[in-house]
Structure 1
Amino acid sequence: MNRVSTAYCQARVVHSAVELGLFPFLTGRSATAAEIVEGLGLHPRLTGDFLDSLVGLGFLERDDDAGGGYSNSAGAEEFLVPGSPLHLGGSMYSHATIHYHVWGKLTEALRDGHAKSGVIADASFQRSYKDPDHLRQFMDHMDGYTSFVGHELVNCVDWTSYESFVDFGGARGNIAMRLVKAHPHLRGGVFDLPEIKPLFDEHMEKHGTADRITFHEGDFFESPLPATDVAVIGHVLHDWPPSARARLIGRLGEAVRPGGMLVIYDAMIDDARRDPESLLQSLRCRMMREGGSEYTAAECGAWVEAAGFEVRRLLPVDTLTDDRILTAVKVAT
């Protein structure tokens, strides 16, 4: 019980390490506590316990035979150094600077019922996307999650019968890039707000996929949607109230060609409402955005069927948020 009560201490230590840039500072090298203090502008009073806590948690290694030098663990090198394929630093930075403080207002939220991020869903994206630095950081945050989801979508969905897909709300195209690399016959698209286009172009150029993925700009509630064989949408529906989710899936039903497929991934709540991970994820959505929450697979299935699809598969997958992937086929009329 006490470990749950004090779990925030572990999270805060790692968050501060990410905010300070400790892991990129140590990449490929070892440094003493004194060198870290000087290099990162820290005060020595707390630094020893801070660094050794990270050793105990498995994020750093300490060489006691070589002057007590600190270096990144293999996991920190793989996940917390910018530029690594599975970089989670952007996601941790968002949790450190935004989510952590929002969660501190949970008691207040339980009393008044309101989100505590200070944003409203239908305006927050357009407003926050005007800030280039914030937008780039948010894309790093999203990529941390979609790198794992992309791996599952590549391997768990049968793409052989389809030639095209569009990832709606697909950010700078991290999932789309992984799909076309793994399945050379596919041609992809990403639909998102116009402010993301420069970061999309940069990401496609970096991965050599610019000639196989097209960016479609617009608002997926108001703008015309591109026709496609497969519509992909994930970590999007939970930002909106149920009526908006049903409306959006209905619009995707119009965009998908007859016989095409709809793929939805999210941390769907188990029907018995006993899985703490999905329930905590749902609570986080409610804390971040008015109207936001996770939803059950049964609720999702009802929206999908109302839009003219038949649910074919629901698959739990190994991602950061223990997502489920729902696939459905559009009924020919």
Structure 2
Amino acid sequence: MALTSEWNVGSHAAEARQARPFWDRHLPDEVVFRPEEGTVRVSSSETLLTVPLTAWGSAERADAGDTEIPVLTLWVPDVRDAHGEALAAGVRLLSLPLVSSGRFRAVGPYGTTVEFAQMRPETLVSRLFTKTDTITPWAIRAAVTLRLPDLLAKRSLTVAEAAERTGTEPDALHRLLRLLAAHGILAEDAEGRFRGTALSEALREDHASGLVSALDLDSAQARIDQVSREILHSIRTGKPVYERVFGRPLWEDFAAEPRLSQSFQEWMSGKTTLLAPSVLAGYDWSEVRHVMDVGGGLGNLLAALVEGAPHLRGTLLELPETAADAVGELSKSLVADRISVVGGSFFDPLPKDADTVVLYNVLVNWDNAAAIRILRRCAEAVGPDGRVLILEGLPADTVGEDSGRAGGVLDDQRLLARIDLLMLMLFGSKERSLPEYAELAATSGLAITSVSPTSSGVFVVECRAVDSP
């Protein structure tokens, strides 16, 4: 579910801001509001319904019983509990139907009419089975590993044809294809032939998202996914479990396995390339002259920043092995002459040429003690007049509803919650709140001076030395 910061603009803005956490909890991912297009999209498997926002008319028309107004129905386990939550959140409720009838209506984002209805017991059980499914996620990974999305792009194949080309057993492959079609990742025609869909396009090898490098069963991310089987140990002890599963901590494991390290860098590079434009647009870089990307992988973010801001110079600081790979990657960039690469560790003294340090997706991988050591090194490097920029997602309840969220991927609070638990299992770290970052900064001799949202959901948390202007 996606909401932008503009959804609550209007005569009831204050009520909408208060109600937003309620809608974040109750509206499913299949409902996507596109205010820039003036539409609401509701998708399920192969079905995509797009309704103009103007079709909803006004809440007053719906309250008056206008049957021409579209209604978005949400089935909830307990309609009375949902009604109580809505009242407590200040959601605007319509007069009919009465909650005693097993349903009620409310004014949703952008003036939509949303009806809450009592879920049948068997539907509730089905929902829980769906949420606890472990087969479908691994089936998707198997399909990616076999490169089925590439094979079935813009063509239809029979099961026998697909099996021959992938070296698989036809009956077993048929079962996989049917499951993927049931989830809208593939489509099956009347003759039993399968083809790709819009969803499978994002799973192709050349897609900008880089999802293939995350979902391939031989990838680093697939190895990371396996720690979930030890989640109970992390919950009971508060400790990471990666070493318990694989015999050594993650970074040591990747260092010893070049294949895993390369796969991880490919995944991070794809993700960073997608997010980089939002970081460039979401922060004022006009006063920055030299930016150092600390722990910046292959330099995708740094290259995007330097290319987008012609006055900038850049330095990439990475471990020696990754730095060597980054030199080759950055040599292809249009701004290679304005970027230098330094091999080193962010736990050691850093080069002091830059006035600004960027830490993107770094601190989330470390516990508080290590994060403070990293921040102190960064503060030393930029000196009393420099700045340290922490680029991370932030929980909604710690930055406020007026924070300018734009409905980006990291604005999804359910995604952040999943990452938070994963960080515990991998490193014993966490997705930190803004107050927690403020505490880390203070311990490191820094103070948060601004927080800038971006369209991707990444926040740019600016820190400066305590005594700096």
1:50-89, aligned counterparts within 5 Å?
A: 50-64=176-190, 68-77=192-201, 79-89=202-212
Q: 1-side partners of 2:249 and 2:233: how far apart?
A: 23
Residue equivalent to 2:225: 100
| Equivalenced residues, count | 326
The counterpart of 1:260, out of the listed 386, 411, 420, is 386
What are the residue-to-residue correspondences of 1:17-28 with 2, within 5 Å?
Answer: 17-27=143-153
Segment drifting more, 167-176 vs 135-144 = 135-144
Match of 2:302 in 1: 176
TM-score (norm 2): 0.62
Aligned to 1:118: 243
CA distance in 2, matches of 1:265, 1:285: 16
**Per-residue displacement from partner, 1:230-283 (whole Å, max 9, x unpaired)?**
111022112222122112111111111443332112233455799443232111
TM-score normalized by the length of structure 1: 0.85
8 A contact 2:243–2:249 mirrored in 1 = no
Does structure 1 retain, via aligned residues, the 8 Å contact 2:358–2:388? yes
1:54–1:211 CA distance, 2 compared to 1 (3 A): farther
The one-letter amino acid paired with 2:423 is C
CA distance in 2, matches of 1:197, 1:27: 36
In the other structure, the counterpart of 1:279 is 417
- Identity score, percent: 25
Shift of 1:88: 1.7
Correspondence 1:248 to 2:374? yes
1:109–1:124 CA distance, 2 compared to 1 (3 A): closer
**Alpha-carbon shift at residue 104 of structure 1 (Å):** 1.6
Task: Give the 3 Å change call, closer, same or farther, for CA 143–62 of structure 1 in structure 2.
Answer: farther
Q: Does 1:191 align with 2:310?
A: no
2-structure distance, mates of 1:318, 1:76: 24
Mapped to 2, the partners of 1:108 and 1:306 lie a distance apart of 30
CA contact (8 A) 1:168 1:220 kept: yes
Structure-2 residue corresponding to 1:303: 440
CA separation of 1:59 and 1:147: change in aligned 2, threshold 3 A: farther
Aligned match of 1:157:
283
Q: Deviations over 1:175-220 (max 9, x none)?
A: 1122122222222121110111232123223444432322111111
Change (3 A) 1:246 1:4: farther
Over 3 Å counting, the alpha-carbon distance change for 1:76 and 1:155 in structure 2 is farther
Query: 1 CA distance for matches of 2:331 and 2:193?
Result: 38
Which structure is larger by alpha-carbon Rg, 1 or 2? 2
Which runs of 5 or more residues in structure 1 are unaligned?
none
Deviation at 1:164, TM superposition (A): 1.4
**Alignment RMSD (CA, Å):** 3.0
Instruction: Assess if the C-alpha contact under 8 Å between 1:233 and 1:264 holds in 2.
Output: yes
1:332 aligns with 468
Task: Tell me which amino acid in the other structure corresponds to 1:332.
Answer: S
Flag the 1:82–1:223 CA change in 2: closer, same or farther, 3 A. Answer: farther
SS in 2 for 1:161: coil
CA contact (8 A) 1:267 1:278 kept: yes
Deviations 1:53-82 (A, max 9, x none): 323433334454xx55433333433x3223
Cα shift at 1:4: 4.8
For the residue of structure 1 that corresponds to 2:346, the secondary structure is coil
Match of 1:293 among 430, 447, 459: 430
Instruction: Report which structure shows greater RCO (CA 8 Å, sep ≥6).
Output: 1
Deviations 1:86-105 (A, max 9, x none): 32211223576223321122
User: Are the structure 2 counterparts of residues 26 and 214 from structure 1 closer, same or farther at C-alpha, using a change threshold of 3 Å?
Assistant: farther
Equivalent residue, structure 2, for 1:234 = 360
Say whether residues 1:220 and 2:346 are aligned partners. Answer: yes
Does the Cα contact within 8 Å between 1:16 and 1:96 map onto a contact in 2? Answer: no
Segments ≥4 residues shifted beyond 6 Å: none
Change beyond 3 A, Cα 1:173–1:58: farther
Determine the C-alpha separation between the residues in 1 that align with 2:153 and 2:242.
Answer: 33
Aligned equivalent of 2:160, options 30, 34, 54: 34
Relative to structure 1, is the Cα distance of residues 206 and 4 closer, same or farther in structure 2, using a 3 angstrom cutoff?
farther
CA contact (8 A) 2:283 2:452 kept: no
